[in-house]
Structures are given as structure tokens and as C-alpha cells.
Amino acid sequence: MVNKIEHIGIAVKNIDDANVLFEKLLGVPSYKMETVETENVVTSFFQTGTNKIELLMATNPESAIARFLEKKGEGIHHIAFDVEDIQAEITRLKNEGFVLITDVPKKGADNKLVVFLHPKNTNGVLVELCQEIK
């Protein structure tokens, strides 16, 4: 079961410039920057109240974020949902007919296990499921 929206991911060309913009916009600094080697991205997180924004910048021109930026430009990349049991959600959603990009969760940014649903099954929206690593 989905608990809440965990964050909204935004693809950016330059994370330093985007950090300045979002700090001005939200009135708070980024609370964490992190490189996720497996995804070839640098991430930066902002939080206001219970709402979080993740900025993503490609570190490799062959990465998924680089391809997204090439095709669509900067903007919303994905919406992430917090779940209690990512394995149970993978099974439930596969039984409901959803297609996952990968069937096995992997370590993502901000101490999370993550898996993505293919946007062709979610009205064109890339959906990420996140579970806190305990």
C-alpha cells in the first residue's frame, strides 16, 4: 500500500544553478546532495514541511536522466511514492498488470530502496516506489 508521495523528481542540466533557484523558491537550502553511481546522477534534496523535491543531474551522457533531458528538456521526471514493503508492492502491482522497469529494488538516493514502474502503464508518468532502508 502507498503511504504518501515521497518526493517529486526534477531533471536539471546544472544542479548548482538549480540549487540556487530552488533555495530561493522554497526558502530553504538543500538538505542533502548525493551521487548515485548506479544511476549516473547527482541528486539534491529539498524539504518544506512533509514535501520533498529531488533534483537530478546526469553525470554520464548515456544515463537515463541525460536521455530524458535530451528528449524532453528540464522538468518533472518522476513522482515517488513511499511504501512500507517494496517487495509486497512489486508483487501487488505486477498482479494488477503494471510493468516494472526492473523487478528487483536497488539502493537509490536518500537511504531508499527503489523500483520504477514503466510510464506506458501509468498515463505517461514515471512512478518510483521508495522504501526506507532500515
Give the pLDDT confidence of 79-133 residue by residue, as tens digits. 999 999 999 999 999 999 999 999 899 999 999 999 999 999 999 999 999 999 9
> Given this model, what pLDDT does residue 32 score?
96
Phi, psi for 48 (deg, rounded to 5): -130, 115
In Å, how far are 20, 27, 101 from 127, measured between CA atoms? 26, 27, 10
The pLDDT of residue 65: 97
Q: Backbone dihedral region of 98: left (phi > 0), alpha (psi from -120 to 50 degrees) or beta?
A: beta
* pLDDT for position 1: 85
- Mean pLDDT (the chain) is 96
Cα pseudo-dihedral 98, 102, 106, 109, rounded to 10: -70
Query: Is residue 18 pLDDT above 90, yes or no?
Result: yes
Non-local (6+) Cβ contacts of 114 within 8 A are 80, 86, 105, 106, 107, 108, 128, 129, 130, 131
Instruction: Tell me the sheet residues that pair with 56.
Output: 11, 43
Instruction: Answer yes or no: is pLDDT of 64 > 90.
Output: yes
Q: What distance in Å separates the CA atoms of residue 78 and residue 123, rounded to the nearest whole number?
A: 12
